[in-house]
Chain A
Amino acid sequence: MEKPKAEVDPKKCLACGGCISVCPQDAITMQSSKAVVDKKQCISCTICIRTCPIGAIHGEAYA
């Protein structure tokens, strides 16, 4: 099974930009003051998940 991609909870995100600065794929952008992951670019490295100071990023849940 493919590893889960990162997903930002827009209700929690406070737009600090940390995840964007460490993403090795440049897969995250700030959109209307929320970080948004481009899942096509994400390689599931989990660096952004571990970096988020408030736990607003998690692995995508599969339905």
Chain B
Amino acid sequence: MKYDAVIIGSGPAGSSTARFAAEKGAKVLILERRAEVGAPVLCGEGVGKIIDDFNVLEGKKWIAANMDGARIFAPDGTMIKLAAEMAGDETGYVVHRDLFDKEIARGAVKKGAELMLNTVATGLVKEGNKITGVQAKHFDEDIEIEADIVVGADGVESKVGRWAGINTTLKPYDLETCAQYTLTNIECDVGYCDFYLGKNIAPGGYVWVFPKGKDVANVGIGVLASLSESGMALKLLNKFISEHPELKKGQPIRFLAGADPVGEPTETVKDNLLLVGDAARHVDPITGGGLISSVHGGKLAAETIASAVEQQKFDEETLSTYEERWKNAFGKKLKRNYVVKEILLEMEDKTLNMLADSLKDYKFEELSTLSIVKALVGKHPTLLMKLKPLLKLATT
């Protein structure tokens, strides 16, 4: 059977692509290597409420808890509180990612997408130079799926891009290596997602505590891979928990390892092949959050797919509309945040402490560059020099 598009991976990016493409009449198939959509979870499970605008999730079962905001703890413990709307794309809901992914996939199927579990994509089918489909293994059976368009939604470890000649290899400087416990029987503040910074806490990353209920939370860590040694993320996470009595008394009901791309987006269109989500590195390089850009990018990819199907034109030029559109929608922000990531990584703990001390009483609703600068420099004049690159970025 021939499909308009075959999508490799049933995560939020793959399922959103499938949903919006199917809704516009395209015949699409999702391949999932695992036996269950959304499991095991590989995520901190924080997402901004702007997710509601995409209408890919019905009901409320996928929501674990509602967040009022975020609290950022500097290395010396100084805390800055941000309202949810100021705290970016990762604060709003803490979700059950297994149910979240299943709900997006269910919506895709309802719109007409097909979904095949236990199916590992192993390569591209080509006629000459032209990609004509995907080779896959369904349990032990080798199969070939014919399609006009191939979509790689195969996550951080993406192979699909490499098969088409897109270099998706990450430099260790562009990967956060992560570990996370879901701890129960702890004490946590349900309304806030907490972030802990410091080079002794999480080199090049942060520790997070995302509450899923009054006595249960995801407690995780990301360490920049270029600063990591074997097993460092887990060791530092255990250390953090042992030093926090309110967490130490808890017990884990889930443990996971994770990998989060914090590089710049890759090329996303090659001939008749597209990349979406983590495979496209559509992740905020500062926070590591990628759910919103995965769903948004999936929607844009789907609109391009639908229009290509309508015209029956599957060349790179037609499909590159997708790349233009995501660059306009969120590519600029990702690029800017990559520069901010580089600046933040250069900052010493001392600078972060001064920053937090200057901002701890700042009312973030009056947010403007000038008022922040006044708050910062009024208290710690030496910050002005250290923040020069950031200010330059803010005013260009």
Residues of A within 8 A of B (CB): 14-18, 20-24, 26, 29-30, 33, 47, 49-58
Within 8 Å by CB of B156, from A21, A23, A57, A58, lies: A21
B34 pairs with A33, CB closer than 8 A: yes
A49 pairs with B230, CB closer than 8 A: yes
Complex Cα gap A24–B225 (Å):
14
CB contacts (< 8 Å) of A56 on chain B: these are 257
CB contacts (< 8 Å) of B156 on chain A: these are 16-18, 20-21
| A20 nearest CB neighbor, chain B only | B157
CB contacts (< 8 Å) of A17 on chain B: these are 42, 155-157, 259
Complex Cα gap A47–B255 (Å):
23
B231 pairs with A54, CB closer than 8 A: yes
Q: In angstroms, how far is the closest chain A Cβ from the Cβ of B217? A: 19
Complex Cα gap A51–B40 (Å):
20
Complex Cα gap A9–B8 (Å):
27
Residues of B within 8 A of A (CB): 33-34, 40, 42, 120, 155-159, 162, 168-172, 175, 177-179, 223, 225, 228-234, 255-259, 261
B259 pairs with A21, CB closer than 8 A: yes
B170 pairs with A21, CB closer than 8 A: yes
Within 8 Å by CB of A26, from B155, B162, B172, lies: B162
Complex A-B: 22 CB contacts under 8 Å: A15-B40, A15-B42, A15-B257, A17-B156, A18-B156, A20-B156, A20-B157, A21-B157, A22-B171, A22-B172, A23-B169, A24-B169, A26-B162, A50-B229, A51-B225, A51-B259, A53-B178, A53-B228, A54-B179, A55-B230, A56-B257, A57-B230
Within 8 Å by CB of B261, from A21, A33, A52, lies: A21
CB contacts (< 8 Å) of B257 on chain A: these are 14-16, 18, 52-54, 56
Q: In angstroms, how far is the closest chain A Cβ from the Cβ of B312? A: 34
CB contacts (< 8 Å) of A54 on chain B: these are 179, 231, 233-234, 257
Task: List the count of A-B residue pairs having beta carbons below 8 Å apart.
Answer: 98
A18 pairs with B177, CB closer than 8 A: yes
Given A16-B177, A52-B231, A56-B257, 18 new contacts (CB under 8 A): A14-B40, A14-B256, A16-B178, A16-B256, A17-B259, A18-B156, A18-B175, A21-B156, A21-B157, A22-B169, A23-B169, A24-B169, A47-B172, A50-B225, A51-B175, A54-B233, A54-B257, A57-B230
Question: Which 4 pairs across A and B sit closest by C-beta, in order of nearness?
Answer: A55-B231, A18-B259, A17-B157, A53-B233
Q: In angstroms, how far is the closest chain A Cβ from the Cβ of B362? A: 34
CB contacts (< 8 Å) of B261 on chain A: these are 21
Complex Cα gap A6–B178 (Å):
20
CB contacts (< 8 Å) of B231 on chain A: these are 52-55
CB contacts (< 8 Å) of B158 on chain A: these are 21
CB contacts (< 8 Å) of B162 on chain A: these are 26
A53 pairs with B234, CB closer than 8 A: yes
Supposing A21-B259, A55-B231 touch, asked if A26 and B169 sit within 8 A by C-beta, the answer is: yes
B230 pairs with A52, CB closer than 8 A: yes
Within 8 Å by CB of B225, from A22, A26, A58, lies: A22
A55 pairs with B259, CB closer than 8 A: no
Complex Cα gap A16–B233 (Å):
13
CB contacts (< 8 Å) of A33 on chain B: these are 33-34
Within 8 Å by CB of B234, from A24, A29, A55, A58, lies: A55
Q: In angstroms, how far is the closest chain B Cβ from the Cβ of A19? A: 8
A53 pairs with B258, CB closer than 8 A: yes
Complex Cα gap A57–B230 (Å):
8
A50 pairs with B228, CB closer than 8 A: yes
CB contacts (< 8 Å) of B175 on chain A: these are 18, 21-22, 51
Q: In angstroms, how far is the closest chain A Cβ from the Cβ of B364? A: 32
Complex Cα gap A44–B259 (Å):
21
| B176 nearest CB neighbor, chain A only | A18
CB contacts (< 8 Å) of A53 on chain B: these are 177-179, 223, 228, 231-234, 257-259
Q: In angstroms, how far is the closest chain B Cβ from the Cβ of A3? A: 16
